Amino acid sequence: MSNQRNPVPTVDVITEVSGGIVLVKRRYPPPGWALPGGFVEYGETVEAAAIREACEETGLHVSLVELFGVYSSPDRDPRHHTIGIVFIGTATGVPVGGDDAAEARIFPSESLPAPLAFDHARILQDYVTYKRTGRRPV
């Protein structure tokens, strides 16, 4: 058995709804608002994980529209090294916090709450730039 350590795969969904994007207030540390998301389970595709996590945390049934980007800075999660696969999705309805989310709300992209957990401020800044200019993060 190898004692090799590898980054942990995670998914996040920038969920576009009427009025803005959906963020969740984290129930557990690290504190703050975050994109709906979480860990990919063994045997699960990243797409299935993104849809499952978004539904568990917001109650919304999300349709994935596109892969937005991959975020892999070793310090993006203070608990351990993760690789975040970020999707853009759409949903209708009113989000309700569930599972790891104490609360779920819609925010206009120009008026985001603080603090944002993990590297989600950077992800959302990249998203706003992408929506305005069509340029994807590198």
Domain ranges of the chain: 14-133
Residue 22 has pLDDT above 90, yes or no: yes
The pair phi, psi for residue 12, each rounded to 5°, is -140, 150
Burial of 29 (0-12, 13-18, 19+ CB in 10 A): exposed
pLDDT digits (tens, 9 = 90+) for 49-66: 999 999 999 999 999 999
Q: Which of 49, 58, 34 is nearest to 85 (CA)?
A: 49
User: Which fold is adopted by the domain 14-133?
Assistant: Nucleoside Triphosphate Pyrophosphohydrolase (3.90.79)
pLDDT for the residue numbered 42: 96
Question: What is the band of 101 on the pLDDT scale with cuts at 50, 70, 90?
Answer: confident
Q: What is the pLDDT of residues 71-100, one digit of tens each?
A: 999 999 999 999 999 999 999 989 999 888
Q: What is the DSSP string of 24-75?
A: EEESSSSPSEE-SEEEPPTT--HHHHHHHHHHHHHS---EEEEEEEEE--TT
Residues labelled as active-site residues? 103
137 or 135, which is more confident: 135
